[in-house]
């Protein structure tokens, strides 16, 4: 089961970091399994690096804008599978 927790507001390709706005009442923490989804994006990974204002944090609450390290997998062909502005971030809840 997936719970929508935020939205990508920017992506910095050189450092592979997505800027994510966490929705009010939601949170994201180290160790969470997430999925970033959009029309041309589907990235599943564990959160292993989370920053606010360039400082590492273990958890971010609603309303925070965080930097999230994204582990990109090379794509064989077609449109690159990278986070894009407007993509939704889901936390996998079991």
Domain spans of the chain? 2-73+82-92
pLDDT reported for residue 73: 77
Q: Write the pLDDT tens digit of every residue in 4-18.
A: 999 999 999 999 999
Distances (CA, A) of 53 to 17, 19, 35, 45, 56: 13, 11, 23, 22, 8
What does pTM read for this prediction?
0.93
Q: What is the pLDDT of residues 55-91, one digit of tens each?
A: 999 999 989 999 999 998 777 677 788 999 999 999 9
Pick the CATH number of 2-73+82-92 from 2.60.40.1890, 3.10.150.10, 2.40.30.130, 2.40.30.10: 2.40.30.10
Confidence class of residue 53 from pLDDT cuts 50, 70 and 90? very high
Residue 9 main-chain phi, psi, to 5 deg: -110, -15
The count of other CB atoms within 10 Å of the CB of residue 15 is: 9
């Amino acid at each position: 089961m997936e719970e929508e927790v935020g939205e990508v507001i920017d992506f910095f390709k050189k450092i592979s970091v997505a800027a994510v706005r966490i929705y009010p009442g939601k949170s994201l923490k180290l160790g969470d399994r997430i999925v970033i989804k959009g029309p041309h994006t589907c990235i599943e990974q564990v959160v292993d690096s989370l920053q606010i204002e360039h400082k590492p944090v273990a958890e971010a609450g609603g309303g925070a804008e965080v930097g999230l390290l994204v582990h990109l997998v090379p794509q064989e062909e077609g449109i690159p599978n990278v986070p894009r502005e407007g993509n939704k971030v889901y936390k996998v809840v079991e």
